[in-house]
Structure 1
Amino acid sequence: MASNKILVIDDTTVVRVKVREMLPPGNFQVLEAKDGLEGFKLIQQEKLSLIMLDFLLPKMSGWDVFQQIQASPELRKIPLVIMSGRKEEVTEKISEPFEYFEFLGKPFDQKQLISAIKAAMAKAKQPRQDQSQIAASIGGIQNGIGGSTSSAEIQALNDKTAKMQAEIDSLKKQLAQVVTFIKQKIK
């Protein structure tokens, strides 16, 4: 019995079969789901080693499945490869660089598939803070700013933080565009 269970969630049979055929024989058990709803049910039921998720899916979109995975501390630990024929559909919702999952553009070959799986496995091992830890640390910082910090001051700090985060996200997008441009020029 294969020790590694890989779930391929894609509405295209060809892609699901292609992934199964490209993986080294004997090492993997490939489970398949043809829509997001079926895929998410399997994510909850099975002990998976990797999830390969198409971004455009019927019944429950890949974006919705991704958000459900991110909302669960246990599911976030599973290595994730997001697949799409149009990367801009993914980057509209999730800014680059992709820290906790790997992106695989369609169509792909065996080398790209194996590389994406290895990268996803490495990224899944990276430590990340839970949202509750982040909220607790922000609360601690706010309380430590003099104890008598007014709600107006806290709101002003939150507004500044949101503005800075928007600027960071914008810079990440610009950097990704520059990297893509340089890669195209190198070819």
Structure 2
Amino acid sequence: MRILLIDDNEKLCVLYQQVLTKGGHETDYLTDPTKALDTIRNTKPELILLDIIQEPISGWDVLEQVRSDPEYFQIPIIILTGKVLTTDEAIRYGLKIEGFIMKPLERNMLLAAISEMKELLDESEDMYERALSAGMSPEKASECRNSTKKKRILKFLEETLSKQEKILAGEEYGRPDILQNLDVLRDLITRELLKINKIIQDCP
């Protein structure tokens, strides 16, 4: 899988790149978040790993830039962060990301998340082909693919939350306020899933 890692800490970028390369992924990294869109256009990643706390612009700023770009807005983005989402961040950005992983990154968790994301994207393309074979128009088949992809990504995000909650509930963190913020995001996901389920009722 072709991955772009955006983090202003070059030492960490080199370390993560080594891990991802050994895991079979073609990985580029960027330490200047202001060049994110240019780098995305040049490298055309299938997945972006994005650190939140960066200078001179934050990872949230990069997220907004990507989601506003008409060509690259659908690229999956997994957030890497040493801090946990605030309630405001959960509400504002929660449905714009595909997952988040707490730093320091655990190698197996990182590779597992990427593997799951690849399977999810492959399944979405299979859905498109099945819809066409069932006689749907390309427009309707595309709607089925995108809605199914969004549903599976939301389920993936939901599973990511559950994994992170177990970490945050441990002795090292033990922050009930953090867990409450994750509940806010889970409620958003649940409501969005209800909307999507209505759309994909007629999909194969």
Rg larger in structure? 1
Deviations 1:44-89 (A, max 9, x none): 3221121111111112211111011111343132221111001225
CA distance 1:108–1:171, shift in 2 (3 Å): closer
- Using the alignment, how far apart are the partners of 1:107 and 1:60 within structure 2? 21
CA distance 1:80–1:120, shift in 2 (3 Å): farther
Which residue does the alignment assign to 2:142? none
What's the CA shift for 1:27?
3.0
Are residues 1:92 and 2:88 paired?
yes
The AA in structure 2 aligned to 1:127 is: N
For structure 1, list consecutive stretches of 5 or more residues without a partner in the other structure: 129-169, 177-187
What's the CA shift for 1:173?
0.5
Are residues 1:15 and 2:38 paired?
no
Are residues 1:36 and 2:55 paired?
no
Secondary structure, aligned partner of 1:20: helix
Aligned residues: 132
CA distance 1:69–1:99, shift in 2 (3 Å): closer
Structure-2-length-normalised TM-score: 0.53
Q: Percent identity?
A: 27
CA distance 1:98–1:75, shift in 2 (3 Å): same
Deviations 1:128-185 (A, max 9, x none): 5xxxxxxxxxxxxxxxxxxxxxxxxxxxxxxxxxxxxxxxxx9950757xxxxxxxxx
Are residues 1:67 and 2:64 paired?
yes
For structure 2, list consecutive stretches of 5 or more residues without a partner in the other structure: 125-144, 148-180, 188-204
CA distance 1:22–1:41, shift in 2 (3 Å): same
CA distance 1:118–1:94, shift in 2 (3 Å): farther
The AA in structure 1 aligned to 2:184 is: K
In the TM superposition, what are the counterparts of 1:1-187 in structure 2 within 5 Å?
A: 4-25=1-22, 27-89=24-86, 92-95=88-91, 98=95, 100-121=97-118, 122=120, 125=124, 127-128=146-147, 173=184
Structure-1-length-normalised TM-score: 0.58
What's the CA shift for 1:42?
0.3
The AA in structure 2 aligned to 1:47 is: K
The AA in structure 2 aligned to 1:84 is: T
8 Å CA contact 1:51–1:78 kept in 2: the answer is yes
The AA in structure 2 aligned to 1:51 is: I
